[in-house]
Structure 1
Amino acid sequence: MSNTTPTLLRHHRPFIAFWLARVATASGFQMLTVAIGWHIYKLTGSVLDLGLVGLAEFLPRVLFMLHTGHVADRYNRARIAAVCQTVQALIALALVISSYSGDISREMIFLLAFSLGAARAFEMPATQALLPRLVPPSLFPAAVAASASAMQTATIVAPALGGFLFAFGSIWVYVPTAILYVLACGLMLSLPKHPAQQSKEKASLNNLLAGIRFIRSRPDVFGAISLDLFAVLLGGATALLPVFAKDILMTGPWGLGLLRSAPAVGALLMSFWLARFPINRHVGRTMFTAVAIFGVATIAFGISTSFWFSLLVLVVLGAADMISMVIRGAFVQLQTPDAMRGRVSAVNGLFIGASNQLGEFESGLTAHWFGTVPAVVLGGVGTLLVTGTWIKLFPTLAHRDTLEQTEQELAATQKSGVGA
C-alpha cells in the first residue's frame, strides 16, 4: 500500500491534469465563497442573508437534478465540466464589473449565487463520473483520496488568500478567481477523449429517475449517502463563520480566511494519509466513527471563544469529514456501473448540496431564531443523534467490512440492468 500514490501519479498523466483542474476550480470556488459571504454580510449585516446565499446555491441542484445526471451519462464529461467552469469564470467577471462600478446589490449577489449553484450542479456529476475512467479499479480508492486532496489543498490556501485580498478590495479576489476557472477549463479540455460509451437514451422521466431507483435498491448506498445529508446538514457551521470571525472571535477578513482554511488543513493531512494507506477493512465502522467525531468537534467549535482553539477544533472536524467523504465516495462509485454513474452522482450531488448549501441556510435560520452559538451546538448534537439512528436503521452498512460489491450485490446489479 505504501507505493499507491507514487504509482498513481507516475503512470497516469490524465489523472494529474484532472487533479490540477480540481485544484484550480476548487480554489476559485473557495475564494468566491469567502468574498461573497463577507461581501453580503458587510452589505446587510444579516445572518439570515448568509443562509439565503447558501439556499440560492442549493436550489439549482433540486431544480436540475434529474437533467444533470442524464447530461453526464450522455455527453462528454470533460467538456461538460469545462463549460461549467467557463460559466463560473463569467460569474466572477460579472462580480468584477459590478464591484468596480459600485453597482452591486443584495439581489444581484443572490442571482449570481444561484447561477454559481447551477453551474456546479452540472459540473459535479460530470467530474465524479469521469474519475473512474481515468484510473484502473485497483487504484480507484487512492484516486478518490488524492482527488479529495486537490480540493483540500485549494481550501487551505484559497480562503485565507481570498480573505487577505478582500481587505484590499473585492476586485482583488474576483479577478484571480476568474483566471483560475479559465485554467481549470483548459486542463479539462486537455484530457484524452474516450470512446463514446455513455448512455445515448433520450431524456425521459423513466430514464432520469433511474439513478434514484438504483440508490433505493441498494440499502447500503442509500444509507451512506443519506448519512452525509442529515449529519452534515445539522452539523455544518460554515455559513456562520463570518459571524464567529467578526462578533465572537473578534477578528477580520484574514481571520475568516484562516477559519475557512482550518478544516481543509485537517482534511488535506488525512487525504494524504488515506491516499497512501487506503481504508480497505472495517469501512462501515470507520465511517460512522468519523461522523461522530465531526459532531463532537462541531459542539466544541460552537462553545469556543478562543480563536486558536477554534482553528484546532476545525482541523479535527475537517480530518473526520475527509474520512467519511472518501469512504462514501469510493463506496458509491464502486457500487455503480459506469453507464449509471452520472445519474447516481447527480443524486449524490443533491445530497451533498443539501448537506452543504442547504445546511448553510439551516444554520443561518437557526442562528436567526436561537442565536449563533446555540445554533452550532444544537447542530453538533443533532449530528450525534443522526449517527446513532443510522447505525440502527442500516446495520449492514455499520458492519460493512469492504468497499467492493458482494456477489449478491453484483448479481442484483446485473439483474436490474444499468439503464433501468
Structure 2
Amino acid sequence: MQKQDPYAALRFKEFNIFLLVRFFLVFGWSMQFIVIEWEVYSITKDPWSLGLIGLMEVIPAVSMALFAGHIVDQREKRNLLAICIAFFSLISFGLFLLTSPEITANWSQKSVLYSIYGLVFFGGFLRSFFGPTIFSLVALIVPKKIYPNAATWSSSTWQTATILGPAFAGFTINWIGVHWSLCVIFALVLLSFLILFFIPKKPILNPKIGENVWKSLGEGIKFVASEKAVLGALTLDMIAVLFGGAVALLPVFAQDILEVGSQGFGMLRAAPAVGAVLTMLVTAYIPISKNAGLKLLGAIFGFGVCIIIFGLSTMFWISLIALFFSGVFDGVSMVIRQTILQLKTPDEMRGRVASVNSMFVGSSNELGAFESGLTAKLMGTVTAVVFGGTMTLITVITTGLISPTFRNLDLTEDVKAHEALES
C-alpha cells in the first residue's frame, strides 16, 4: 500500500474552490446561529427560548430531508447549491432587517422574537438541501480513492469555520452589535455564492432520472437499513449529539453561571471546534481507518465525559478545556463517520443517503438544543448538561456490548479496494 499523501485532495483545484465556498458558507451560518442565540436570550432571559430555536429548525429539516435527497439525486449539483445559497442570503438579509433600529423601535419584542423564529423555521427547510448537495458535489470533484483524505479536509474546513464563526460573532456582538454582525453574515453568504461559479457544472450520475419519488425514497431508506456500518455510525452519533447538546445552553453559562460576557461566550463556543479541527488535521497524516468501530465508540465515550465535566464546572478555564477536548473526540467521530459514508455509498444514492444522515446527525444538533432547553427548564441548567453527558456514556457502553459487528468494524480493506480500482 502506498504511503498516504496528506494533501492528496488539495491537489485538485476545484476541491480547493469547494473548500473556500464551504468555509465562507459555514462561517456565516455558524456566526448567524450564535448571533440569533444571543439576541433571543437577551430578549427572553429564558433557556427554553434557546431550545425553541433548535425546534424551529429541526421540524422542517427532518420533515423535508428525504424529499430533498431525492431532488438532489435528480438535479445538477453546482446550480442546486447556488440556489440554496441564494435563499440563505435572503434569510440573512431578513434577520439583518429585523434587528434594525427602525424595526426594534416600532415593533414589540414578541413580534421581533416570533419573526426570528419564522426565519429560522424557513432556514430549516433550506438546510435539508445543503447537506445532501454538498456531500454529492464533493464526490464529483475528487476521485474515489482519495475520499478519506477529502473527507478529512472538508470536515476540517467545516470545523475551522465553526471555530472562527462563533468566536468572531462573540467579538462583533461586542464591537458593532447584533444588527451589524448580521450584515457581515449577509456579505459572507454573497461571497460564497460568487465563488461557487468557479466550479463548472457537473454531470448527473443517477441512471433513474424521473423515477417515482416514493420508490426513490424507499431505495434510499432500504440501503441505509441494510448497510450496518452506515446505520450503526449514524445511530450512535445521533444519540450522542442529542444528549450531549450542551452548547445550546452556552449563553446561560456565559451570562449567568461563569459570568464571562459576550467575548467569553465566543471563546466557549469556539473551543470544541478548535479541538476538532486540530484532531482532523492530525488524521490527514495518520489514517484512522483501522479499527474504526472501536475508535468511534471510544471517541464518543470521551465526548460524553467532557460534557459532564463542563456541566459541573464553575471555573471558566476548566469549562474551556472540557469543551476543547469534547471537540477533539468529536473530530475523530466526524472523520470516521464521513469516511464510512463516502466509501459505502453508491454515486447515484448520495443525495438520499446524505439526507438520512442529516436526519440522524445534522438534525440531532437541533433536537439536542431542544432537549437541552427542555431539561434545563425542568431540571436546571447544570443538571440538564450532566444528564445529557451521562446518557451519552450509557449509549456508547450499550452499543459496544450488544453490537460486536460494529465494535469490530474496520475500513482498511475498503480503502485498499478503492485504491486498487483507480490505480
TM-score clears 0.5:
yes
Q: Tell me what 2:328 maps to.
A: 319
Equivalenced residue count is 407
What corresponds to 2:421 in structure 1? none
Amino acid at match of 1:227: L
Q: Secondary structure at the match of 1:362?
A: helix
* Equivalent residue number for residue 420 of structure 2: none
- CA drift at 1:187: 2.4
* Distance in 2 of aligned mates of 1:113 and 1:208: 26
- The answer for the alignment partner of 1:88 in structure 2 is 88
* CA distance, structure 1, for counterparts of residue 61 and residue 370 of structure 2: 14
The structural deviation recorded for 1:256 is: 1.0
1:236-260 CA-to-partner distances (Å, cap 9, x unmatched) read 1111000000011111111111111
Distance 1:71 1:404 in 2: 32
Q: What percentage of residue pairs aligned between the two structures are identical?
A: 40
SS of the residue 1:182 aligns to: helix
Note the C-alpha offset of 1:209.
2.4
CA contact (8 A) 2:76 2:203 kept: no
Q: CA deviation at 1:333?
A: 2.0
Greater than 6 Å deviation, 4+ residue runs: none
SS in 2 for 1:170: helix
Unaligned 5+ runs, structure 2: 417-423
Report matched runs for 1:257-406 at 5 Å. 257-402=266-411, 405=414
| SS of match in other structure, 1:209 | helix
C-alpha contact (below 8 Å) 1:74/1:200 kept by paired residues: yes
Query: What runs of 5+ residues in structure 1 fail to find an aligned partner?
Result: 408-420
- Separation in 1, partners of 2:412, 2:151: 13
Pair 1:242 & 2:259 matched: no
Does the 8 Å contact 2:220/2:349 carry over to 1?
A: yes
Amino acid at match of 1:59: I
User: How far apart are 1:286 and its partner, in Å?
Assistant: 0.7
Alignment-mate amino acid for residue 132 of structure 1: A
1-structure distance, mates of 2:353, 2:278: 29
- CA 1:334/1:403 → structure 2, altered by over 3 Å: closer, same or farther? farther
Are positions 1:124 and 2:165 aligned together?
no
- Cα–Cα, structure 1 residues 157 and 180, in superposed 2: closer, same or farther, change >3 Å? same
Partner of 1:188: 196
Distance in 2, matches of 1:196 and 1:129, equals 10
1:190: Cα distance to partner? 2.0
The residue aligned with 1:65 is 65
Contact 1:290-1:324 within 8 A present in 2 as well:
yes
Q: Note the C-alpha offset of 1:44.
A: 0.9
1:159 to 162, 166, 172: 166
The answer to whether the Cα contact below 8 Å between 2:343 and 2:415 also exists between their aligned partners in 1 is: no
Cα shift readout 1:177-198 (whole Å, capped 9, x = no counterpart):
1111112122223212223323
Partner of 1:76: 76
Please say if residues 142 and 150 of structure 2, whose CA atoms lie closer than 8 Å, have aligned partners that are also in contact.
Answer: yes
Q: 2 CA distance for matches of 1:403 and 1:70?
A: 31
Residue in structure 2 matched with residue 227 of structure 1 by the alignment: 236
1:111 to 2:118 alignment: yes
Displacement after TM superposition at 1:81 (Å): 1.6
**Bigger mean CA deviation after superposition, 358-367 or 271-280:** 271-280
- Counterpart of 1:45 in structure 2 is 45
